[in-house]
């Protein structure tokens, strides 16, 4: 156990079986939503900078993101730094993009995968898109542009966790 900034006991982050990477996020509310989801589900998080807002514990706490103590989060100065960290861990990058042809439901997820979402305003640049061999999309009705990035991340994280058998056990009070 660790102590949080208020001196109260905080649960240490777990070693995640899956990670979610946010490429240069530019909407703090979506970032907060995805980080809260990651904390609640035991998914690790990566932020690939630069972001369109201050990325700091203080900024997240000011926005009410009090789940940071329960989140395994890493910050990367650039996509190159992020890619080097993936190679060092032997992790497989998987990009969520509207440009993909493979639906997320037809992909075999593996433990250690890192799901990557792009900027809310622009996705990822072509060079990043081409550098990631696994690209998935969430199937949608024709004629609609895209889902909110946090919603798309939740849908794909849910499927990956289902395939990996990684859903957290229910709290003890719900099982007795």
Burial (CB count within 10 angstroms: exposed 0-12, middle 13-18, buried 19+), residue 172 = exposed
Q: Is residue 56 part of a domain?
A: yes
Q: Is residue 176 part of a domain?
A: no
Per-residue pLDDT of 79-135, as tens digits, reads 999 999 999 888 999 999 999 999 999 999 999 999 999 999 899 999 999 999 999
Mean pLDDT, residues 70-76 taken together: 90
Q: Is residue 81 part of a domain?
A: yes
Q: Is residue 39 part of a domain?
A: yes
pLDDT exceeds 50 at position 6: no
CATH number, residue 47: 3.40.1280.10
Q: Is residue 1 part of a domain?
A: no
pLDDT exceeds 60 at position 4: no
Q: Is residue 174 part of a domain?
A: no
Number of domains in the chain: 1
Domain range for 100: 13-165
For residues 171 and 176, give the distance between their C-alpha atoms in angstroms, rounded to a whole number.
Answer: 9
């Amino acid at each position: 156990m660790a102590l949080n900034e208020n001196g109260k006991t905080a649960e240490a982050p777990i070693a995640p079986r899956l990670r979610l990477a946010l490429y240069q996020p530019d909407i703090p509310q979506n970032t907060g939503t995805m980080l809260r989801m990651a904390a609640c589900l035991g998914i690790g998080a990566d932020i690939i900078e630069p972001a369109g807002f201050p990325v700091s514990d203080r900024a997240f706490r000011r926005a009410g993101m009090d789940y940071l103590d329960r989140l395994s989060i890493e910050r990367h100065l650039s996509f190159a730094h992020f890619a080097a960290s993936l190679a060092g861990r032997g992790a497989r990058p998987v990009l969520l993009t509207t440009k993909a042809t493979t639906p997320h439901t037809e992909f075999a997820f593996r433990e250690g995968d890192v799901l990557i979402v792009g900027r809310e305003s622009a996705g990822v640049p072509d060079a990043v898109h081409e550098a990631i061999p696994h690209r998935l999309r969430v199937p949608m009705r024709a004629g609609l542009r895209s889902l909110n990035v946090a919603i798309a991340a939740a849908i794909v994280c849910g499927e990956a966790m289902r395939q990996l058998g990684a859903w957290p056990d229910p709290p003890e009070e719900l099982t007795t």
